[in-house]
Amino acid sequence: MVILTLNCGSSSAKYQVYNWETRDVLAVGIVEKVTLGGSFITHKAKGREEYTAQHDCPTHTDAVDLIIKTLTSKDQGVISDMSVIKTVGHRVLHGGMKFTKSVIVDDAAMAAFNEVKDLGPLHNPANIMGIEAAKKVLPDVPHCAIMDTAWHQTMPPESYLYAVPYEWYEKYQVRRYGFHGTSFLYTAKRAAVLLGQDPFKTNLIICHLGNGASVNAVKDGCSFDTSMGITPLEGLVMGTRSGDLDPALPFYVMRKTGMSDTEIESTLNKKSGLLGLTGKLADRRDIQAAAVSGDKQALLAQYIEAHRVKKYIGAYQAVLGRVDALVFTAGVGEFAWFMRNKILEGLEGIGIVYDPKKNEMSHTRNTETIISKPESKIPIYIIPTDEELVMTEDAFALMQGTYNIHTSFTYSFQSKDYVNKGRAEGLRNELAKNPSLTEIIASPK
């Protein structure tokens, strides 16, 4: 059985093709810079060299079309045609209050996603387009939706309610929802394995840092608080989103400039964050290159981003009381050692002590690493996320009728002996070139 997963983000479209019988990934890939210009696909099929090609994708529909053509192409394809795929798992950003776990997509689910798409203006439309595009190609197989918000449905009222008129919550479901749930689920379960602890007795602070970014306080294995809010705009400084700001600021700017509420919303979501601070850059790789070359705005943007993450780490340590581990994940969290360096500097006072050398060594998606010093009271793990595997296992279990909410469901990667075959192969190749990587590999206790 072959399962396809699609994860259409604000400026990307990730995919994975998985053979369930062999528990093996046939291909993974990503279309980057979707809608931004200069988009390209990076495709890695098992046993082959990585393939990269420039291809303009002004919309996410174009990105899905490119993925399908690549998967079935003569030179790069891994399946004969799309009929080989028996189910598709889709990442959906916002499920509102209607979903506490993954579901098979039907008309009611699609209607619900459309109802809340204004709450996820950069993602939900892309998610919906991905589902619609895939259903046209594969109309006869079940399509499953894995919601980012579902993981956070365990938050208590003190975490998810805003101090606004309570009737807004009762009438309009105004509350904190939180996002990146699939990533947090995977990394929380893996962190418990590395710590050798019962997942439901584990407290964590997880930093999911990518173009979109958020922090999650995990208490006893469940989401307790998170930095994103009713939409993904709240919280950390992101690629194009402002994150936290004074709620009065938009009204002030509207009065000064005459901008409409729609223009303000668009600016805060699409023209703020790192892009707003630098005036031209949103990708961390470009910002780092500019900072190294002496661009003061790029360097300032990095410090502002790191400062915001530090504040949330400290706040969530206070909220949790006991923290068993600090975790970094997602593209920036996994690879941008220079950002981790800025975030971790000066946290010794709260028991977080990192090793700069180990931190600089860790830039891999093939293994879990530990970059804290032995005297650190709180270990620092870098856990490459695997949202696609969560989506794959949810989709299969939904199809089989065995799926349940994560507190009553066990994933394959919760085993101490779990091995991702593709990553294991990648790690062997990395170690052949860089044997010193063994110094920072994290092993289950």
User: Residue 80: what pLDDT?
Assistant: 87
pLDDT for res 77: 93
What pLDDT sits at residue 275?
97
Model pTM?
0.92
Question: Is the predicted pLDDT of residue 296 greater than 90, yes or no?
Answer: yes
Domain coordinates in residue numbering, the chain: 2-147+387-414, 181-383+420-440
Q: pLDDT digit string (tens) for 132-180?
A: 888 888 888 999 999 999 999 999 999 999 999 999 999 999 999 999 9
First to last CA, the chain: 34
- Check if 283 is active-site: no
What's the whole-number mean pLDDT along residues 182-189?
A: 97
Is the pLDDT at 51 greater than 80? The verdict is yes
- Complete DSSP assignment for 291-334: HHTT-HHHHHHHHHHHHHHHHHHHHHHHHHS--SEEEEEHHHHH
SS3 249: helix
pLDDT digit string, tens, across residues 55-78 = 999 988 888 889 989 999 989 999
How many angstroms separate the CA atoms of 388 and 366, rounded? 15
pLDDT at 10 over 80: no
Residues 88 and 109: their CA atoms lie apart, in Å, by 15
Closest CA to 67 of 123, 16, 142: 16
329 vs 313: CA distance, rounded Å: 14
Question: CB-based burial of residue 441 (10 Å sphere; 0-12 exposed, 13-18 middle, 19+ buried)?
Answer: middle
Instruction: Say if residues 129 and 59 touch (Cβ distance below 8 Å).
Output: yes
CA distance 29 to 44: 6
- Dump pLDDT digits (tens) for 188-208: 999 999 999 999 999 999 999
Residues 84, 80: Cα–Cα separation, whole Å: 7
Residue 3 has pLDDT above 80, yes or no: yes
273-291 pLDDT, tens per residue? Answer: 999 999 998 888 899 999 9
**Share above pLDDT 90 across residues of the chain, in percent, rounded to a whole number:** 80
Taking a C-beta distance cutoff of 8 angstroms, is the pair 28, 16 a contact? Answer: yes
* Domain range 181-383+420-440, CATH class: alpha beta
393 confidence band (pLDDT: 50, 70, 90):
very high
Backbone φ and ψ for 11, nearest 5 degrees, come out as -135, 25
Sheet of 2-8, strand order: 51-54, 40-45, 24-32, 12-19, 2-8, 85-92, 143-147, 103-104
> What are the residues whose beta carbons fall under 8 Å from the beta carbon of 248, sequence distance 6 or more?
none
SS3 state at 414: helix
Question: Residue 424 has which token pair?
Answer: 């294991």
Higher pLDDT, 74 or 255: 255
pLDDT at 434: 94
Q: Which of 360, 287, 331 is nearest to 42 (CA)?
A: 331
Q: Which of 56, 65, 148, 220 is catalytic?
A: 148
The position carrying tokens 């994940």 is 329
The whole-angstrom separation of Cα 112 and Cα 98 is 8
How much is the average pLDDT of 414-431? 92
Instruction: Evaluate whether 2-147+387-414 and 181-383+420-440 have a shared fold.
Output: yes
Return the closest-CA partner of residue 144 out of 61, 88, 100.
88
- Other beta carbons within 10 Å of 235: 24
* DSSP three-state, residue 103: strand
3-state secondary structure of 425: helix
The CATH number for 2-147+387-414, chosen from 3.10.450.50, 3.40.50.2300, 3.30.1490.20, 3.30.420.40, is 3.30.420.40
What is the rounded CA–CA span in Å between residue 117 and residue 268?
Answer: 17
- In three-state secondary structure terms, 86 is strand
